[in-house]
Structure 1
């Protein structure tokens, strides 16, 4: 019999979302705060009914949908902010995402032990990713300290060494949970999945470009691209670095490490989504700069999440790093070369 722990978690998190609706949302529109409050209230009631066993099972779906509405309302509020972001929409966004996760667990009938396992593994995955970022950054800073102060040299080397650091951290993490490194001679299926992944990731890239254009959404750019505007010569080396270091290093950590670790408590596709959220979070600093509107950062991180889903699915389909490494490396390399053509 279901112990309704997931509904209890959802009830608490939805309550946080409701409280967030009464925080300061300035300069976000009042309508976004009102919508967030409405969705949070609906989620709270649905979770409460299921928590006490007095409502039908479809209320789990209703609670999850209302939680998604809370997250979307918060995102809409953030999109409209051009200056400093107040606490209200940010808290509401995280509460909405947390309530969606709780709702999904409730729909799947995951009991307390399973939910707690998801919580623990998610925290460990986040900590491992943060540790990898710090390790890679420190390794790169040591490497460039011995190089001449020329961006054409320091930027590619910094990126390559940092990515190698992420890969090393990924190997250490995999060894820690005894997951095994998923590298083998690629077969026809691996090549086919990689090919489909490349097509899919660029198709989604074009689709997201269209959405951004049609709705006039703001975007932020990667710190490397900002540097390349003044020094476009760094981009061809970065394209090579993408194939040899960025793809292998980041995928070893994000997929073979984080995603595979999350298989231990999530379903495989839920692990793809959860690992993609962790991967997206690890890119926050890369797209955040002084003066960049919060909405632009949110749109860009949403795109990173979609890209990560493709990479996660290619790994899930093959249980091997070949496909995600190829797709990731090719995607980044093409982006760098397109930027080079634009800036030169």
Structure 2
């Protein structure tokens, strides 16, 4: 499939509308960072994040009023917002949340997480501004991102519902628990993928299933090497800056009971890899091609892919969960790139499944 024309783009539109929209998440991020600073949080990373958040707002306003051109304005807005994302993410990982009570609610909200998420939105708007996307195009992209996010989380919900329905037939722990998990994965993700294709009018030709040729084999081997290389690079970077990640729930089970590998290894190869790639790559990422650029679709689908895995790390703290999702985002970028290059679902499914299986084997080696 060739890169499609992106709807909502075009000349002749008011190029101040997109940066005007960008002011909103940038201001939210700025307020969310500066409020904890005002309340006495003296962490230098939070303070620098606050300064960068101000820069992001100024950059969008300068673009809005024509004081900065597209390239320098969008680059400054995106760069400063990325700094806010990295610094607030690091602060969250170190246990600094900037929590505040919400009137009328029995609980608190992390202002730094709000800043993290809002700054991420600012990056997306800045990227749209740089590429000359119109306000209508940005709204359409936001809508498509939202609908595909719903599809991604629908897969998670479907898995949970299938698991509850089939639970009386299986045990909750051990081998039977793993079998239940993989059966739920196949039925849950498979049903959501099929339903999404039906609702969008796609037939079976939409599925990129081909018998692997020599090129596909090369991409499978090379992709596996690339995926582990990315993991090592991300892990080293996080170790250097002192960021802690959480353990996946399956990892914890294997460490406690190595015999589960008899089910987990084939489950990763035959179920997790194929069905996760079916939904998140062949259905979600490929659907995003209709609205985003190819590489934009890879990034957006990776955000969704990482987000739906939050439950798998639920036993850890918020900062560790966030760091783990960042790792997943990076690995998903690699899988998305492999799928985009090969246009064959079999290749990323094999790479994904083999990667997971090898990781589990290494734990007990």
CA distance in 2, matches of 1:155, 1:2: 54
1:63 to 77, 85, 89: 77
> Residues 209 and 55 from structure 1, CA distance in 2 versus in 1: closer, same or farther, beyond 3 angstroms?
closer
Following TM superposition, by how much is the alpha carbon of 1:167 offset from its aligned partner in structure 2, in angstroms? 2.3
Kept in 2, the 8 Å contact 1:42–1:66? The answer is yes
1:324 aligns to 2:348 (yes or no): yes
1:239 aligns to 2:265 (yes or no): yes
- 5 Å-filtered alignment, 1:70-149, equals 70-81=84-95, 87-149=110-172
Kept in 2, the 8 Å contact 1:217–1:299? The answer is yes
CA distance in 1, matches of 2:193, 2:356: 20
Structure 1 stretch displaced more, 44-53 or 274-283: 44-53
Show the counterpart of 2:19: 7
Show the counterpart of 2:201: 178
Secondary structure of the residue aligned to 1:200 is: helix
Q: TM-score, normalised by structure 1?
A: 0.92
1:18 aligns to 2:30 (yes or no): yes
How much is the aligned-residue C-alpha RMSD, in angstroms?
2.1
Following TM superposition, by how much is the alpha carbon of 1:28 offset from its aligned partner in structure 2, in angstroms? 6.6
Secondary structure of the residue aligned to 2:292 is: coil
Q: TM-score, normalised by structure 2?
A: 0.87
Following TM superposition, by how much is the alpha carbon of 1:83 offset from its aligned partner in structure 2, in angstroms? 8.3
Secondary structure of the residue aligned to 1:217 is: coil
Show the counterpart of 2:280: 254
Q: How many residues are paired up? A: 339
1:43 aligns to 2:56 (yes or no): yes
Structure 1 stretch displaced more, 107-116 or 222-231: 222-231
Structure 1 stretch displaced more, 73-82 or 131-140: 73-82
Deviations 1:92-149 (A, max 9, x none): 1001100000000000111122111100000001111111111111112222321245
CA distance in 1, matches of 2:162, 2:270: 17
Runs of 5+ consecutive residues of structure 1 not aligned to the other structure: none
Show the counterpart of 1:169: 192
Show the counterpart of 1:269: 295
Show the counterpart of 1:226: 252
Show the counterpart of 1:196: 222
Following TM superposition, by how much is the alpha carbon of 1:250 offset from its aligned partner in structure 2, in angstroms? 0.4
CA distance in 1, matches of 2:255, 2:42: 34
CA distance in 1, matches of 2:98, 2:66: 43
CA distance in 2, matches of 1:213, 1:19: 30
Kept in 1, the 8 Å contact 2:220–2:350? The answer is yes
Deviations 1:58-93 (A, max 9, x none): 211111111111111211211211789652210110
